[in-house]
Structures are given as C-alpha cells and as structure tokens.
Amino acid sequence: MYLQKASRKKAKIKLCLQGPSGSGKTYSALLLAYGLCNDWAKICVIDTENHSADLYSQLGEYNTISLTGPYTPERYMQAIEVCVKAGIEVIIIDSLSHEWEYIINFHASLTGNSFTNWGKVTPRHNEFIQTLLDTNKHVIATVRTKQDYVLNERNGKMVPEKIGLKPIQRDDLEYLFTLTFEIDRNHVAMSTKDRTGLFSNKQGQLINEDTGRSILEWCNYGKEETGNDINTRINECKSVAELLSLFNKYQHLKETLKPEFEKRKREILVQEIHN
C-alpha cells in the first residue's frame, strides 16, 4: 500500500443506451460507434434482437454477430472475445436485457431456497459485466425499458400506478457505466449518468456521429498507460479470477506481460494454500 499522484489515463468508453422499443437505441449506437472510430469495419454489433442491426446496413459495412438463445452470460462473453480477437474497436451489445431475462428465468427454475440460489446465479452475471467493463475496447450496450408500477392505496384498495420506465436489467447496472443515456420515443437522449462531464448540464439531444467524436476526445485526453502502470495493477490483484480478468483486458500485450501474470498467479496460489 502506497501513495501515488492521481493521473488521468486514456480510456475506452463504457456507455449504456436505455429506452423503450422503437426509441432508436440500435441506430444511435451505430452513429456513436462510427464517431468513436471513424471506420465501419472496426464496429461489431452483438445482435440479440433478431437481426435488427441489419436494418441499418446502408450506413456502412459494419460487422454483426447474431446471438440466439439461450442468452447465457457465457455466450455473451464468447461473443466479446470473438470481437477482441478480430481487432474490433467498438463493440455494440444490443441488448443486455436478454442476458438478465435469462438470469431471472434460470433462477426461477432452480429448486430450493430462493435466496441461496442467487448465490449460484449472481457470480455468472457479475463475471459477464466485469468482462464487459474490463474489455480494452469501446463498448456501447443497449438496454430495453418497460413501464414500471407501484401499488398505492385508494379508497381502501391497492391500485397500481405508473411511475415511469424501468430498465430490464439489474437495478444497479447503469451506475457501472461511464456514461448512460435515456432515449425517449422521439429519439431524444438525456444523460442520467455522466462521468465525462460532457452532457451533465445539457438539454436532451439527438445522438449522432459528433456525439461519438466528443466522447472520443474525452477518452483520449490523458496519458498513455505504461508498462509500470499495468504491472502495478497485476500486483494489486487478490485472486486468480481478478488476474484473469485483467489478462483478458490486455490480450494485445499478453506475450509481453505473460511472465508478470504467471509470477503473480503463483504468488496468489501460495497465499491461498497458506490461508
């Protein structure tokens, strides 16, 4: 444990687009992606929406991976790995909602104590989300929303009342992203979570390629991550799973960094034996 000066590093955006069906999430994601990399060939849509990404092929020659059920966290992670190995710069996951619906349905199918069963299911979901966040690529994820209700008492009866739109995903998901936009049926986007500071005080807007370019400029502001920075992160890993997640993030440097990863892995395993 030691002190060090805070230093802004270059980053890859992790962005979430939330909205109801027909709000333009897929189209907006594609425009954002092009603004981020300026090359359609470097964009891939992991498509769970029955080939909906193909509807916008007139925009450019981007790539797609058609993901069909079951929408397990593991299949999403495999699709991300395919994108990384292919040199894709912007990964669009359209959408995350199918994964959460799978998790909910799988949990419901388990016998026994419901609370205990979450201990079997949650680690799979968490591993997928961590893989998404650790990927050394720009990631744009879409999430469906649905009408949410609460029960209020009226004249002695409990009556459901609309309270707005609720994302079809785990409740805390949007807070894990660097930037989250809510898109309405008129295709107007409002930022609900913004660590970039680019959109916090702005009115609703239509997302376009310039939006992506602004985000890219923010991502590129800062220092390049050095070998020493990565070695520090390797040595801070407390488990083999955490180490593997970091290794996957830096696959483009895996040959160079492999000795450091192997060394830390041995240290962790020795510590686990002694504990």
CB 34 within 8 A of CB 210: no
Q: Using DSSP, state whether 129 is helix, strand or coil.
A: helix
- Give the model's pLDDT for residue 211: 95
Domains of the chain: 14-222 (3.40.50.300), 225-275 (no CATH)
DSSP assignment letter at 198: S
The one-digit pLDDT tens for each residue of the chain (275 residues) are 555 665 566 889 999 999 988 899 999 999 999 999 999 999 999 999 888 889 999 999 999 999 998 999 999 999 999 999 999 999 999 989 999 999 999 999 999 898 999 998 999 999 999 899 989 899 999 999 875 545 566 666 665 554 456 777 888 787 889 999 999 989 999 998 899 989 877 788 899 999 999 999 999 986 655 666 677 778 878 888 777 777 776 666 667 777 887 888 888 888 888 76
Give the per-residue pLDDT at 241: 78
E strand or H helix that includes residue 133? helix 114-134
pLDDT for the residue 149: 46
The answer to whether 17 touches 141, Cβ cutoff 8 Å, is yes
Centre a 10 Å sphere on the Cβ of residue 118 and count the other Cβ atoms it contains: 14
